[in-house]
Structure 1
Amino acid sequence: MPAAQTKDDLLAVSAKEFAKLQSLMVTVPSDVATQSIEENWSIRDVLVHRAHWIDLFLGWYADGQAGKKVAFPAPGYKWNQLAAYNETVLAQHADVSWEDAQVRFLAAHDRWIKLVSGLTQEALYGAPMTGGNNNWTCGRWAEAAGPSHYRSAAKFIRTCLKQASVGR
């Protein structure tokens, strides 16, 4: 799927992918949500991860706007260390319940919507994101943190639900 090129398209794809994900989330039984199913990840883990990455993006944007050094992807980590970083994130949030994971994710999505809705077309797509150290625009980073992650989370949940139904 091609990346959005306009604010309206970004908000539309976000609404579409968020609705798909949310409709799946409400079907997930609590016991299934916390089962490690694929590569030791659970549905709960995926939502915690997605909420965390939305907040990373929001932090990158805020730091860039403030003229601070942007830590991509996170302080002390390089892009080739994502697997180790993600494991750290999951370990730090291991005690989060399924219900709290959903609340955190929904709150992160709301923060994402608030930022993107408040930015102009120019701020989203006019130039590379300040502090981004590459050519991606703020809109492209926003899409990676939001709708692209929603799409992959929905795919993961569908896979997990299929596996869980076979085991029941």
Structure 2
Amino acid sequence: MSIPENKKQLLAAMTKNWDALQKKLSLVPAEQAYITQLDGHVSGTQMSVANLVSYLIGWGEQVLYWHQQERAGQNIDFPASGYKWNELGKLAQKYYADYASITCWSALLEKHADTHRKLLELVESYSDDALYGIPWYNTWTRGRMIQFNTASPYKNAATRLNALVKK
């Protein structure tokens, strides 16, 4: 699928990549979800599937928070408070820690699904012009920033799970 250029394409990419990811996640037994067995988001580190899902939740919640900040008339702190774009590995590890208290696999997956639903609602709340008509962050449109942090990481996560679910 090419890079979305409008609301309909963005929703389609989010849904398609979400569905593909869910198929892979459904193959991960709960007893394996918290075992460190995947390459982490920082070179030389390892993570669990639960960490991977936590990372996706973290980015989804971050996108929602950006919009909450905007609605409140606050400056948006990209990518997140206390982090710079060249510190995304550290931010990934923060997201792992943020959801580490959710030790029930089905509860973590439900949190992920809830975040995804909120992201779809967010996209639905904007027009094509608001999503793709004007730059929102530097040269990036709102739609592109949402896609960077939803559809793209969903696809990447599904790819990361390929080797694990084929075992």
Identify which of 72, 91, 96 aligns with 2:97: 91
CA displacement, residues 117-148 of structure 1 (integer Å, 9 cap, x when unaligned): 1211011001112xx3x111110011112111
Decide whether the 8 Å contact of 2:24 with 2:165 is kept in 1. no
- Counterpart mapping for 1:1-168 below 5 A: 2-38=2-38, 39-97=45-103, 98-129=105-136, 132=137, 134-162=138-166, 165=167
Q: What is the CA-CA distance between 1:85 and the residue it aligns to?
A: 2.0
Q: What is the TM-score when the length of structure 2 is the normalising length?
A: 0.89
Higher strand content, 1 or 2: 2
For structure 2, the 5+ residue unaligned runs are 39-44
CA displacement, residues 51-97 of structure 1 (integer Å, 9 cap, x when unaligned): 11011011112323433111111111111111122212212322322
CA distance in 2, matches of 1:79, 1:161: 31
**Percentage of identical aligned residues:** 29
CA distance in 1, matches of 2:32, 2:159: 15
AA matched with 2:86: N
Runs of 4+ in 1 over 4 A off after TM superposition: none
Q: What is the CA-CA distance between 1:159 and the residue it aligns to?
A: 2.4
AA matched with 1:138: R
Q: What is the TM-score when the length of structure 1 is the normalising length?
A: 0.88
SS in 1 for 2:88: helix
CA distance in 2, matches of 1:126, 1:87: 34
